[in-house]
Structure formats: structure tokens, C-alpha cells
Amino acid sequence: MELKDLLGGKGGNLAEMARLGLPVPPGFTVTTDACRAYLRTGDEPFGLGDEIDLHLERLEQQAGRRLGDTVDPLLVSVRSGAKFSMPGMMETILNVGLTDTTVIGLAGQTGGDERFAWDSYRRLIQMFGRTVCDVPGERFDAALDAAKAAKGTTDDLGLDAGDLRALVETYKDIFTAHTGRPFPQDPREQLDQSIRAVFSSWNAERAVLYRRQEHIPADLGTAVNIVAMVFGNLGADSGTGVAFTRDPATGAAGVYGDYLANAQGEDVVAGIRNTVPLQELATVDRRSYDELLTIMARLEEHYRDLCDIEFTIERGKLWMLQTRVGKRTAAAAFVIAAQLLDDGVIDADEALTRVTGAQLAQLMFPTFDLSGRPERIATGVAASPGAAVGAAVFDARRAADVAAGGTAVVLVRRETNPDDLPGMIAAQGILTSRGGKTSHAAVVARGMGTTCVCGADGIDVDVDARRFTAGGGQVVREGDVISIDGTTGSVYLGALPVQPSPVVRYFEGTLSPGADPLVAAVDRILGHADKVRRLAVRANADTFDDAARARRFGAQGIGLCRTEHMFLGERRPLVERLILARTNEERDAALADLLPLQRADFVRLFQAMNGLPVTIRLIDPPLHEFLPPLEELSVKVALAQSRGEPDGHDRALLDAVQRMHEENPMLGLRGVRLGLVVPGLFAMQIRAVAEAALACREQGVAVSPEIMVPLVGAVQELEAVREEAMWLLSSLGVQARIGTMIEVPRAALTAGEIARAADFFSFGTNDLTQMGWGFSRDDVEGAFFTRYLELGIFGVSPFESIDRDGVGRLVRIAVDEGRRARPDLHIGVCGEHGGDPASIHFFHDAGLDYVSCSPFRVPVARLEAGRSAVAATGSDTR
Ligand code: PEP
Ligand code: MG
């Protein structure tokens, strides 16, 4: 157990500072163990009271003051402090120890500063009342406002000692009226009740919500820090401040901070008065300033990282109240890690643990400049990050036309389907009102790196009328410009200014690492990740452009080419001919026409990858997905009939759609099933791969093809395809590895048998999650995942991050049994999880050889693969 587990972040760091001999006010920490026991039983654990007695006595000795002393009273602060920072979520009570008698002593000790003493007392009653006894805070606020109004002032400082003394009486009355008992005059009782209130605040609603959001375990509990009060509001030689040992926004070296003279910490937080830059402290109190700088350097040396601190100066004496490794922006995280590496403070492995894939991903998106406070008209699922501005267009074909004319467009649909692809490719961004993170729009958009907001159900899309209506009544017509933020899910009216990402410019080769400290840091740290990672990183790519970009981004091959994407656009009539074929000859003729097109596609992919492995997956979706929707065709045929127009082709299509209709197409005639039912289909694709390989060889381009069979559930399915493929390949003199996706649970459970017929496995975790959980991947996220997340059934969608216990278990079984049957089995993953940081760590642990993800995720996957390789040596990956 770490110090932080028991003492919380704040307590652990206070203890550490005390150990370093830094000026920390005396105090002690009640452990998280005690909190957990309290939360379990509703009572203090046995012996806690005695321990508090003991430590309080020590504290009193160190401070030279006693709690409750009428002449020189000790006051303490009682603060929460969990293992993971939960800013402002739990409670703090200051000035504990003040009573009707000790307040007089305090005034005496502060040189007769009665105003200060009464102000401190009224603050205690207010905080104690609200936090410990649930007295509504507004009652106290109203009384304070009334006192100020009576005095004709708007500032707290306008109230003198007499006013505050009267206010204390009012506060005490409020307390009694609400609780039915007087404000406790026994300081020890105040302390005990405060500690209990801090324990209980672990389970306050906002804390519970925050933990759920941040994936902080619910059973950690909080520690409680009891520390002697020091005061920054005792005059001009006192003050308080916050500081960072480096700039937390950019990572630049140097000391940054704010100072407020004659004030307490909460005044800084509340923004009651304006702070001054820390450097100004040098002119007011040079000694304290120099001491502070020395301490900050010492802290950075000790923690070997950016630290943030809170301090107070009480009558010229500097006190350190808190320190922790400071939060920072994504850019600062990279810059600081590289700087510390350069300075020899940390080694390269540790530098890798200081950054995350999520931070790198954040740095790769263009962003909106929101300084003009634009109006947000809707919010949806942040499906594919980025900032897109364009004219709203409600039809994919028109979107492609408008974009071809040079106008940026945002394609707006209720949901998208493969037919929309040309418009999706042409659009800057995609907005849908239905579907979740694994809907067609989301998956395709992420694959292309196109910004996408989906499932914005607050908007009503009327495709026919070419407009949508937002929840606030705003109507966006075709051609109106909108801005969508795929990182936050926000939709805005009008064109917001966009800032491009320097990191992407670097990957694209248009910005050199030397040109920008952030880019240099990314280059350095990613270079080390490449050196240490065991997992190879491939890309999911179906086009030359995607493949070429993936290579620029560092992909080591293609792990998934979805060949069905090559059946779209102008090739659709050929696919229709294939579906409508009534004789073997008609079918063979349609396939023969498709062959050269597929061959050309594969040639381009092989050229882009130039010898790196290219995994070509045979067609997966049901064929009727390539036909127009049933409703659309029915209307078309009915209209043609009513007008007496010829409808032969459409009627034939309609018959085919009706014949092939499936209630559950995801569980229907797709993947290997289709290949075994439609003669010649897979053979045409395999021939195209082989002929493309031959053509490339002739051009001197090295090729390394892999043929992958989708949706296999039984080894017999794979064997049937493999046999035909082997025969075809050998007749053409081409070698290719033949493997299978593992995406049906039965395949995972019979992986030992399936491995006999497979050179490689690639986990299709999208389908494996769909079929493992029984969740329809296109529907559930929008339908009820919000409720599931609220209920804590899972902390994150299993379509986003691998469900280690369930779906992950299927993966482990398949890896173990597959490798046992065939030790040289090459194993990867090509579902969406291949680009998800947490899942990549799982795949590393599970012993996979590679992950494959969309081109834009490749750098993130490289970084996380490196992080998972060094995580085994003990880093914190949270
Ligand atoms: C998968 O199921 O994870 C996969 C990669 O295949 P697709 O998404 O095309 O079904
Ligand atoms: Mg699949």
C-alpha cells in the first residue's frame, strides 16, 4: 500500500513535506482506513478517539498552544483528502476550536485584533453549520448581506468588530433554529463532529457523481487532515498564494503563481479580491519570496515533476499548506516530460509514463476558438473528435456536389448508411440525430478522421424539407453554416474560428520537430515508445489515401481492409447485377466485371504499403445492405405504377430486398456465411488479391498479402474457404497467409480447433462485444447506455473500452487455446478497441502481437503500446 492510499494525496504530501524539513504547520492525518470503517458501520472505529487524543496532544506541544485555551487557543483546520484529487467535492472546516471564550483569547493573541477574531468565529459557525449540521448556506449569506446593508456597505471589510460580533450572535441563532441545539462550545466536540462530517462527505451526491465520471473507485474513502491554523489575514505582512513550479498551460520552465496580501486561502478561491503575480511578493517580502523559491525548487527535485503549492505567510513567516504533482494541459504534459528527460531528472521510460494516449489524441485535433462565446444549439455524442465548419447539407450526393464546388459542408442526417459514403468523405463533419459511438456514422468518421457528432437527439432532422430544428427552436436550413465539435459533442450556429494541430502537421511531414517545443517533445517521447513497445501497430484502411496517411503516422501494415467499402459508389450497379443474377452465367459475368476493380484497389493498397503486411478481409455485410432501403423502393415502385411508368428494374430490386430481408441482419447472412452461399464471391476477391500481388511484383513493389475470413464460428467454415483459397493462390503462384477474425463468441471458445486452419487471428472486438453482451452495436448506446452508466453497470461503454472480465476473457481463452494449438499463430485485433488506450494495455497483457486502428489513432496506439511495455515495470497508468 502506498502512503497515498492511507493518508490521501493531501495528507501524504504534507507528511512528505514535513519529512523534508519544510515549514508545514503541525498536524496529523486520520487515515482512509478509519473512514472506510466509519462508512461501513456508521460509527467511529474502536480506539480512534484515543488516537486523536494522543496526536492532538502532540500537535498542541508542537504548536505551543492548546485547543480550548482561553488565553492562547489552538485553532485547527479539518480537511478531506482522498487518494485521487476530487477538487471541491468534499468538505473542509476551518477555525475549529473557536468558542465564545476562545474568541477573546484569539483577539488577544493577534494584538487585540478583535475584528479578525470575530470574523474567524463567524466563518467557523457558517462552515460548521453548513457542513456538519446541514444548515442551508443561504441563511448565513442572507444574514451577512443584511449586516452589510445595515452598515451601508457591499464589502465584508466594511464590517467592524462590533458588527461581526453581532453577526456571530445572529449566526448562532440560525444554527440553533435549524438544529434545535446551541452551537457547540466544546472544541473537542467541534473537532469530532467535523471529522465525521468529512468522512460522510465521501458519499455526498456530487462526490459520487464525480467519482463515477472520473472512474475513481467508490470504496477508497477519504483521509482527514487536522492541521494547526495559520492566518494570512493578519495585516500587510501576511498573505496567501498559489504557485506552480512550471507553467501548467505550456510546460515552460519558470515559477508561476498568484499572491494576495492580507487574505486567507478561501478568499483567493472565491475571487473576492484580485490577486497579483507571485513575482510582486519579492518587492513586499523578499525573504519569504526567496524562501518560497528555494522550497519550490526542492519540491520539484523531490517529486521530479511539476508541483503546485498553496502557501500562507503569517506575519512574515512562510508556511506551506499543500503541495501535489500539478495538473497540466496535454501540451504541457509532453513538454515537461521531455524537459525533465533532457535535464536527466527522469529516464525515457518514466517520461513515457508521464504522458497518455488520450493527451496525444487531444493534441491531434483542430480546436475551436470559443472566446467569442458562441451559441450552442445542440449536444450529441462526441463520436469523432475535431472541429468542423461548413454549410449544412442533408443529402450525401448533394454534399459531395457542393463540396466539389469548393464549399465546406457538414453532412446532416438522421443516421448514415453505406450509401452516404461519398458525402461523408466529402464533408468536413457529420452530424446525426441518431446512433451512438459505434453507429455507422461514428465508425466511418473515426476511420477517416472526420469530425462527427452523432445521436444529437435534441435536433429534429427533416431530410425532405432540407432543414433541422434544434431544441431551442432554431431552424437550420440547407446552406446555413454550422460548426460542430466532435471532441465535446457541441453544435453551434455560424462559423467558429478553427486552429489547426501542429502535431498533425508534424506527422504529415509539413512541420519539423525543431520548429516547435511541443512537436519536439512528441517526437522524442513517441520515438522511445517505438523503441520499447512489443505490440506492432497497424491501421484499418481501405483506400490508398488512408493507407498512405497511416504509414506517415507510423503504421507497420494494414490490419483490416474492409473490402465491402469497395462495393459502393459507381460500382453499385455491378453489385446489383450480382444480386439480381438469375443464372450462373449472369452471376459470373457480374463477378468478372467486379474483379478488375477490386484488383486495382488492392494494387493501390500494396503500393501504399510497399512490402508491409496488408490484411484483406473478405466481404462481410449482408448483400442487401447494398440495395436501396425497402421503404424507398416501395414508394418508388408504387409511384411509377400509379403514373403508368415502367418499373422493371426497381421492381426486381424490390423483390430482391423483400426476399433477402432479415429481422436481425447482424446475425444473418454475412461474412463467411455469405461466401459459402454465394458461389464465386470470395473466389473473385481472392483472385483479385493474387492478381494484384502479381501485378505489383512485376512493378518491383514488394507485397505481403494476408487474407482474412470474417464471422467464422466453426473451423469447418474456415476450412472450406481456406481450401478454395489455397487452391486458387497456388494455381496463380502467389503466397498469402490465410487467417480469420475471431468475432463470434463460439470462435473464441473453439479457438484451439480454428487455429488448425488459420495462420493468424484478428479479434473483431466490435462484433465480439455485440455478440458477447447481446447488445446491438448500432442501437444500444443511444438507447440505454446512459442509464447503465448512471447505474454503474459499467463505467465506460464496452464498445469504447474492452470489457476485460467478459469479452476480454473470450480474448484470453482464444489466445491461450489458439497458441497452444499453433505456437506460431500471429494474433492481433482490428475492432475499434485497437485504438483505445485502456484496451491496448489489455491486449499487451493478453499477449497479442499487434493492434490495428484507424490511421489517426496510429500515433496514440504507438504511444500506448510503449506505455504498456514500461507499465509492467510499475508505473501508474491511471
Ligand atoms: C469487428 O467486428 O470488430 C470488426 C473489426 O469488424 P466490423 O466492424 O467490420 O464488423
Ligand atoms: Mg465484425
Tell me which residue of 789, 786, 616, 591 sits closest to 692, measured CA to CA. 616
Least confident of 257-266, 390-399, 614-623: 257-266
- Measure 859 CA to ligand 2 centroid, in angstroms: 23
Q: Which ligand is nearest to the CA of 672?
A: 2
pLDDT of residue 605: 97
- Measure 463 CA to ligand 1 centroid, in angstroms: 29
In the structure grid, which three cell numbers stand for residue 698, read together? Answer: 512485376
Alpha-carbon distance of 230 to 34, in angstroms, equals 26
Mutate to test the pocket of ligand 1, among 741, 799, 801, 853 (most ligand atoms within 8 A of CB): 741
Contact 661, 575 (CB under 8 A): no
Which residues on adjacent β-strands are paired with residue 73? 66
Tell me which residue of 467, 426, 424, 443 sits closest to 381, measured CA to CA. 443
Tell me which residue of 311, 254, 248 sits closest to 279, measured CA to CA. 254
Atom number, ligand 1, closest to the C-alpha of residue 762: 5
Atom 8 of ligand 1 has which residue's CA nearest to it? 766
Tell me if residue 483 falls in helix, strand or coil: strand
**pLDDT of 409 over the 60 cut:** yes
Q: Which ligand is nearest to the CA of 446?
A: 1
Strand segments, DSSP code E, in 38-161 are 66-67, 73-74, 76-82, 92-96
How does pLDDT run across 450-467, given as a tens digit for each residue?
899 998 988 999 999 999
Atom 9 of ligand 1 has which residue's CA nearest to it? 562
Distance (Å) of CA 48 to CA 30, 92, 133, 191, 310? 9, 20, 22, 13, 29
Show the ligand 1 pocket: residues with CB < 6 angstroms: 560, 562, 620, 743, 764-767, 830-831
Alpha-carbon distance of 852 to 673, in angstroms, equals 24
Atom 4 of ligand 1 has which residue's CA nearest to it? 764
**pLDDT of 496 over the 90 cut:** yes
Mean pLDDT of 209-237: 87
Ligand 2 ion local residues (Cβ < 5 A): 743, 764, 767
pLDDT of residue 272: 57
Residue type, 875: S
Among residues of the chain, what percentage have pLDDT more than 90? 72
pLDDT band at 781 (very low <50, low <70, confident <90, very high): confident
pLDDT band at 221 (very low <50, low <70, confident <90, very high): very high
- Residue 163's CB: how many other CB atoms inside 10 A? 20
- Measure 831 CA to ligand 2 centroid, in angstroms: 7
Mean pLDDT across the chain, nearest whole number? 92
Mutate to test the pocket of ligand 1, among 444, 770, 830 (most ligand atoms within 8 A of CB): 830
Least confident of 49-58, 303-312, 329-338, 561-570: 561-570
Atom number, ligand 1, closest to the C-alpha of residue 767: 2
- Measure 559 CA to ligand 1 centroid, in angstroms: 12
pLDDT band at 876 (very low <50, low <70, confident <90, very high): very low
Atom 10 of ligand 1 has which residue's CA nearest to it? 767
- Measure 766 CA to ligand 1 centroid, in angstroms: 5
Residue type, 318: L
Atom 6 of ligand 1 has which residue's CA nearest to it? 764
Which residues on adjacent β-strands are paired with residue 393? 411
Atom number, ligand 1, closest to the C-alpha of residue 765: 3
Tell me which residue of 515, 536, 543, 529 sits closest to 449, measured CA to CA. 543
Strand segments, DSSP code E, in 573-628 are 613-617
pLDDT of residue 144: 95
pLDDT of residue 550: 97
319 secondary structure, DSSP code: E
pLDDT of residue 271: 55
Residue type, 666: M
pLDDT of residue 878: 35
pLDDT band at 6 (very low <50, low <70, confident <90, very high): very high
Mean pLDDT of 108-137: 92
**pLDDT of 273 over the 80 cut:** no
Atom number, ligand 1, closest to the C-alpha of residue 763: 3
Atom number, ligand 1, closest to the C-alpha of residue 832: 3
Alpha-carbon distance of 23 to 28, in angstroms, equals 15
627 secondary structure, DSSP code: S
- Measure 743 CA to ligand 2 centroid, in angstroms: 6
Atom 1 of ligand 1 has which residue's CA nearest to it? 764
Among residues of the chain, what percentage have pLDDT more than 70? 98
pLDDT of residue 874: 40
Contact 479, 408 (CB under 8 A): no
Mean pLDDT of 185-190: 97
Q: Is the dihedral of CA 48, 50, 54, 60 positive or negative?
A: positive
Atom number, ligand 1, closest to the C-alpha of residue 743: 2
pLDDT of residue 413: 95
pLDDT of residue 1: 65
pLDDT of residue 44: 84
Q: Which ligand is nearest to the CA of 712?
A: 2
Q: Is the dihedral of CA 545, 551, 553, 559 positive or negative?
A: positive
DSSP 792-823: TS-SS-TTTS--TTTHHHHHHHHHHHHHHH-T
Mutate to test the pocket of ligand 1, among 620, 740, 836 (most ligand atoms within 8 A of CB): 620
Q: Is the dihedral of CA 816, 818, 821, 827 positive or negative?
A: negative
Phi-psi region of 570 (alpha: psi -120 to 50; beta: other; left: phi over 0): alpha
pLDDT band at 735 (very low <50, low <70, confident <90, very high): very high
How does pLDDT run across 258-268, given as a tens digit for each residue?
899 988 877 66
Contact 118, 105 (CB under 8 A): no
Residue type, 26: P
Strand segments, DSSP code E, in 185-337 are 222-228, 239-246, 253-261, 276-277, 307-314, 317-325
Q: Is 749 exposed, middle or buried (0-12, 13-18, 19+ CB in 10 A)?
A: middle
Higher model confidence: residue 213 or residue 19?
A: 19
In the structure grid, which three cell numbers stand for residue 106, read together? Answer: 484569539
Atom number, ligand 1, closest to the C-alpha of residue 766: 3
**pLDDT of 737 over the 80 cut:** yes
Alpha-carbon distance of 701 to 157, in angstroms, equals 80
Q: Which ligand is nearest to the CA of 762?
A: 1
Mutate to test the pocket of ligand 1, among 767, 801, 811 (most ligand atoms within 8 A of CB): 767
- Measure 765 CA to ligand 1 centroid, in angstroms: 7
Which residues on adjacent β-strands are paired with residue 446? none
> Which of the residues are catalytic?
440, 830
Mutate to test the pocket of ligand 1, among 540, 743, 768 (most ligand atoms within 8 A of CB): 743
- Measure 18 CA to ligand 2 centroid, in angstroms: 57
How does pLDDT run across 325-384, given as a tens digit for each residue?
988 888 899 999 999 999 999 999 999 999 999 899 989 988 898 888 898 999 998 888
- Measure 851 CA to ligand 1 centroid, in angstroms: 13
| Phi then psi dihedrals of residue 428, to 5 deg | -75, -30
Question: CB neighbours of 304 closer than 8 A, spacing ≥ 6?
Answer: 340, 345, 346
Give the DSSP H/E element, type plus range, for residue 852. strand 850-853
How does pLDDT run across 280-312, given as a tens digit for each residue?
999 999 999 999 999 999 999 999 999 999 999
Mean pLDDT of 821-835: 97
Q: Are strands 429-432 and 451-454 parallel, antiparallel or unpaired?
A: parallel
- Measure 328 CA to ligand 2 centroid, in angstroms: 38
Alpha-carbon distance of 96 to 98, in angstroms, equals 6
**pLDDT of 119 over the 80 cut:** yes
pLDDT of residue 270: 59
